[in-house]
Amino acid sequence: MRRVARARLASQVIRRLRRAGVRDVRYHAATFSVRFTADGEAVPTVLELDGLLADRSGGRRERRARVDRFVAGLLRTPGLPGDWSEARSLLRPVLRGRSLADVEAPIRRPALPFLAEFVVVDQPDTMTYVAADQLAAWGVPADEVFAVARGNLTGAVLQGVADEPVVVQFVDDGDAYWTSHLLLDGWLGRLTEQVGGVPVAFAPERGTLLVTADGSRHLPELFGQAEKVYTTSPRAITPMAYVSDELGHTVPYAAPPGHPLHDCVRRAEAVLAVQEYGRQARLLADAAELLLVDGFRTRAVWARNGPTLLPAADEVLIADTVTPWPKVLPQLHPAADLDPPRWHGTRWPT
């Protein structure tokens, strides 16, 4: 029912945009967003529909009128500011999967495994990704755009001190960009007193950031909670856990063999890899499948007459034989310009 409601709302928005003369309109179900390019704009706008769906008050006529007003507001103030002085205060950094499918040529840089940092222009009704060609119009380099975007985050910290490890949930109201705070050096570490220990963070979807203390009894449960949110949300980011390193950079939570959370960490890494490679595969004609095996391992499938762009995996299924990735890798060569990376399997192993 929820999927049907999302599709119905998206179709209403698309119809109203097209009636207004907007032709390049597409619905992206996986992220519950509509992408359109307004007249006179070179950069497409990505419109996330969660907030519009959440307000179901009033009757059908009132809800339709709300959609009409919403779309009319978009068309009055479309796209990106053309002047850098107007744009800089509106910039925000965002964490997204590297295989972001609903944006063309955005500026980005690697942030974490399978995740990249993008920049958006945050306006009242839209969030528009900054594309590479926009930098020339503004006359600024990418590094400056990223720096300004990070500088626009609040960097807020919690008040008070926890007597024992607790779970703190940051829920985004659309303006806070809590998950983006993981990009700020030192920010996560400043929550130590508020969560009762070394902070461990989860960002399962764009509106939710969960933080608790390392060693907390809550931590194993949060791995399961984060995975559930990640696999069911149209705005998923990552099921993995993150901490600050000695320099204050956010890095994946490490749990070597023998650590009580080793299996939780391995599963989260595997689930993220399967999902991101799956998103990428939908855009490639010859992408081999990546499977989750026994809950913890990843397996690439190399069929004799099937796809030959292999994802990185723990093991490779070749015909009926499972072979560890390190033994297969010498027979492969990297594919160009793919992120996450893939390898060409041009010669069937013997």
Helices 2-19, 60-76: axis angle to 10 degrees equals 50
pLDDT of the chain along its 350 residues, tens only? 667 778 888 888 888 888 777 777 888 887 778 888 766 566 667 777 776 665 566 667 777 777 776 776 555 445 578 789 999 999 999 999 887 645 556 889 999 999 999 999 887 767 788 888 788 889 999 999 999 999 999 777 666 666 677 888 887 766 789 999 999 999 999 999 888 999 999 999 988 999 999 999 999 999 999 999 999 887 899 999 999 999 999 999 999 999 999 999 999 999 999 999 998 888 888 888 899 999 999 999 988 776 689 999 999 998 889 999 999 999 899 999 888 999 987 666 55
Strand order in the sheet with 297-302: 290-293, 297-302, 315-318, 321-324
| Count of other CB atoms within 10 angstroms of residue 263 | 15
Cα–Cα separations (whole angstroms), residue 177 to 11, 156, 209, 230, 235:
27, 11, 10, 17, 13
pLDDT of residue 77: 46
pLDDT of residue 67: 76
Hey, which residues does 306 pair with through a beta bridge? none
One-letter identity of residue 180? S
Residues sharing a CB contact under 8 Å with residue 158, sequence separation 6 or more, in sequence order: 168, 191, 194
pLDDT of residue 116: 94
